Chains A and B, each alone.
Chain A
Amino acid sequence: MLKAATAPHLRAAQRPTYQSYGMLLCLVPLTAFSCLHYGIRPLLLVLSGILSALVTECICGLFRHGRPTMSDATCTVTGGLIGAMMSPLAPFWVPAIGSAFAIGVVKMPFGGTGRNIFNPAAAGMAFCAVCFPTRLFMYPDPTLTDSLPLLDTSAVITAASPTAQLNSGGTTSYGWLSLLSGDFPGPIGSTGVLILLACALYLFARRSSSPLILVPYLIVCAIGAALFPRASITAVTSVSLELCTGLLLFSGVFLLSDPVTAPRFWLARILYGVIAAILTMILRHYGRFECGEFFAVMLVNSFSPLLDRSCWHLTALLRRKREEVAQI
Chain B
Amino acid sequence: MLSRHGTRLLFRKEPAISQPTQELTEVSQVVLPFSFATEAAVRPAVSLYDTVNKGTPLAIIEDDPLATVCSSVTGAVSGERQIQHPLYGVLNCAVIDCVPDMPSPEVPVPLPKALTPDLILQTAETADIIDELDGVPLVLKLHRWQETGCDFLAADGIEIEPYASSAWAVLRDHAEQVLEGLRLAALCIGAPRYHIAVCLSGQRRRSIALRIGKDYLYQTDSYYPKAAPVRYSKHGGRGTVKYGSRVCRIGIQACLALYRALYLGEAHNRCTLTVAGDAVPHPQNVSVPFGTTVQQVLEHCGLIEPPDYLILGEQMTGTAALTSDIPILPGMTCILAFTAAAIKPVTPRTCIGCGRCVQVCHAGLLPFEINRRYRNMHYERLGSLSTHLCDGCNACSYICPCGIDLAAVVREAAATDNTISVDLEEDDDA
Is B317 in contact with A16, judged by CB distance below 8 angstroms? no
Question: How far in angstroms is the closest Cβ of chain B from A217?
Answer: 17
Q: How far is the CA of A112 from the CA of B319 in the complex (A)?
A: 35
CB pair A10 B369 closer than 8 Å = no
B7 and A3 contact, CB distance less than 8 A: no
Interface size for chain A: under 10, 10 to 19, 20 to 34, or 35 or more residues?
35 or more
Pairs across A and B, CB under 8 Å, 22 listed: A2-B321, A2-B322, A3-B309, A4-B320, A5-B311, A5-B343, A6-B408, A9-B343, A12-B401, A14-B399, A16-B354, A16-B402, A72-B349, A114-B352, A207-B2, A259-B352, A259-B354, A264-B355, A265-B355, A308-B366, A308-B369, A315-B364
Structural contact, A259 and B315, CB atoms closer than 8 A: no
A76 contacts partner chain B, Cβ-Cβ < 8 Å: no
**Complex CA distance for A260 and B315, rounded to whole angstroms:** 29
Find B366's partner among A19, A112, A265 (CB 8 Å cutoff). A265
With A15-B401, A207-B2, A327-B244 as given contacts, are A7 and B353 in contact (CB-CB < 8 Å)? no
Question: Do B324 and A8 touch (CB < 8 A)?
Answer: no
Partner of A11, one of B340, B350, B364, B403: B403
How far, in Å, is B241 (CB) from chain A's closest CB? 11
Query: Does A319 have its Cβ within 8 Å of any Cβ on chain B?
Result: yes
Contact A9 B336 (CB under 8 A): yes
Within 8 A of A (CB), among B336-380: 336, 338, 340, 342-343, 346, 349-359, 364, 366, 368-369
Instruction: Give the CA-CA distance A7 to B326 in the complex, in Å.
Output: 20
Which residues of chain A have a CB within 8 Å of any CB of chain B? 1-12, 14-16, 18-19, 72, 74, 111-115, 207, 210, 259-266, 308-309, 312-313, 315-316, 319, 322, 326-328
B346 touches A11 (CB 8 A): yes
Cα-based distance from A72 to B338 in the complex (angstroms): 29
* Chain B residue, CB-CB nearest to A111: B350
Q: Across the interface, name the chain B residue whose C-beta is closest to A1.
A: B306
CA of A265 to CA of B4 in the docked complex: distance in angstroms? 11
Q: Is the Cβ of A265 less than 8 Å from the Cβ of B408?
A: no
In the assembly, what is the distance between CA of A72 and CA of B346, in Å? 15
Question: In this complex, what residue of A is CB-closest to B408?
Answer: A6
Is B151 in the interface zone, CB < 8 Å from A?
A: no
Shortest distance from the beta carbon of A113 to any chain B beta carbon, whole Å:
6
A326 touches B243 (CB 8 A): yes
Q: When A7-B394, A260-B352 are in contact, do A313 and B369 touch as well, CB less than 8 Å? A: no
The complex places the Cα of A266 from the Cα of B2 at a distance, in Å, of: 14
**Alpha-carbon gap, A210 to B354, bound state (A):** 10
The 4 closest A-B CB pairs, nearest first, are: A264-B355, A326-B244, A259-B354, A5-B320
Contacts A4-B320, A11-B346, A264-B357 aside, 4 further interface pairs with beta carbons under 8 A come to: A7-B319, A12-B399, A16-B402, A308-B369
How many Å lie between the Cα of A219 and that of B340 in the bound state? 51
Name the interface residues of B385-430: CB closer than 8 Å to any CB of A: 386, 394, 397-403, 405, 407-408
A19 touches B244 (CB 8 A): no
Find out whether the CB atom of B309 lies under 8 angstroms from the CB atom of A2.
Answer: yes
In the complex, the answer to whether A3 meets B306 with C-beta atoms within 8 Å is no
Is B316's CB within 8 Å of the partner chain A? Answer: yes
| Cα separation A1 to B340 with both chains bound (whole Å) | 11
Set of chain B residues within 8 Å of A3, measured between Cβ atoms: 308-309, 320, 340
Residues of B within 8 A of A15 (CB): 401
User: With the chains together, A113 CA to B353 CA distance in Å?
Assistant: 9
Query: From residue B375, how far is it (CB to closest CB) to chain A in Å?
Result: 11
Q: How far is the CB of A107 from chain B (nearest CB, A)?
A: 12
A279 to chain B, nearest CB (A): 21
A305 to chain B, nearest CB (A): 8
Q: Are A8 and B366 in contact (CB under 8 A)?
A: no
CA distance A18 to B338 in the complex (A): 27
Q: Which residues of B contact A315 (CB under 8 A)?
A: 364
A309 to B385, CA, bound (A): 9
B55 within 8 A of A: no
Most chain B beta-carbon neighbours within 10 Å: one of A2, A8, A328 = A8
Partner of B386 from A18, A72, A112, A316 at Cβ < 8 Å: A316
Known: A5-B320, A16-B402, A327-B244. A113 touches B352 (CB 8 A): yes
**B240 contacts chain A at the CB level, 8 A cutoff:** no
Provide the residues of chain A in CB contact with B323, threshold 8 Å.
2
Q: Is B44 an interface residue (CB 8 A)?
A: no
Contacts of B401 in A (CB 8 A): 12, 14-16, 18
Nearest chain-A residue to B12 (Cβ)? A10
Residues of A within 8 A of B405 (CB): 6
Report the bound CA distance from A264 to B49 in whole Å: 64
**Which residues of the other chain, A, contact B313 by a CB distance below 8 angstroms?**
7
Contact check: which of B7, B346, B350 meets A113 at CB < 8 Å?
B350
Complex Cα spacing A128 to B340, Å: 51
B368 to A, closest residue via Cβ: A264
Indicate if the CB atoms of B350 and A114 lie closer than 8 Å: yes
Contact A6–B320 (Cβ < 8 Å): yes
Q: Identify A2's interface contact among B307, B316, B350, B386, CB under 8 A.
A: B307
Roughly how many angstroms separate A310 CA and B307 CA in the complex, as a whole number? 48
Residues of B within 8 A of A312 (CB): 364, 366
Tell whether B154 is near chain A: CB-to-CB under 8 Å: no
Chain B nearest CB: distance from A260 CB in Å?
A: 4
Residues from chain A with a CB closer than 8 A to the CB of B342 are 10
Of listed B318, B343, B354, residue having the most chain A CB within 10 A: B354
CB distance from B430 to the nearest CB of A (A): 24
Is B104 positioned at the interface, with any CB of A under 8 Å from its CB?
no
* Residue among B318, B352, B366, B408 with most chain A CB within 10 A: B352
User: Whose C-beta in chain A lies nearest to the C-beta of B352?
Assistant: A114
Distance of A19 Cα from B99 Cα, bound (Å): 61
Would you call B315 and A2 a contact (CB within 8 A)? no
Q: With A and B bound together, what is the CA distance between A74 and B323 in angstroms?
A: 43
Which residues of chain B are within 8 angstroms of A19 by Cβ–Cβ distance?
352, 354
Q: Which residues of A contact B358 (CB under 8 A)?
A: 264-265
Smallest beta-carbon distance B230→chain A, Å? 14
Contacts of A309 in B (CB 8 A): 366, 369
Contact of B397 among A11, A260, A319, A327 (CB under 8 A): A11
Alpha-carbon gap, A6 to B343, bound state (A): 11
Q: How far is the CB of B287 from chain A (nearest CB, A)?
A: 25
Closest CB-CB distance, B151 to chain A, in whole Å? 12
The answer to the question of B66 belonging to the interface, with a C-beta cut-off of 8 Å to chain A, is no
Complex Cα distance, B346 from A108, in Å, reads 24
CA distance A4 to B318 in the complex (A): 12
A262 to B354 alpha-carbon distance, docked (Å): 9
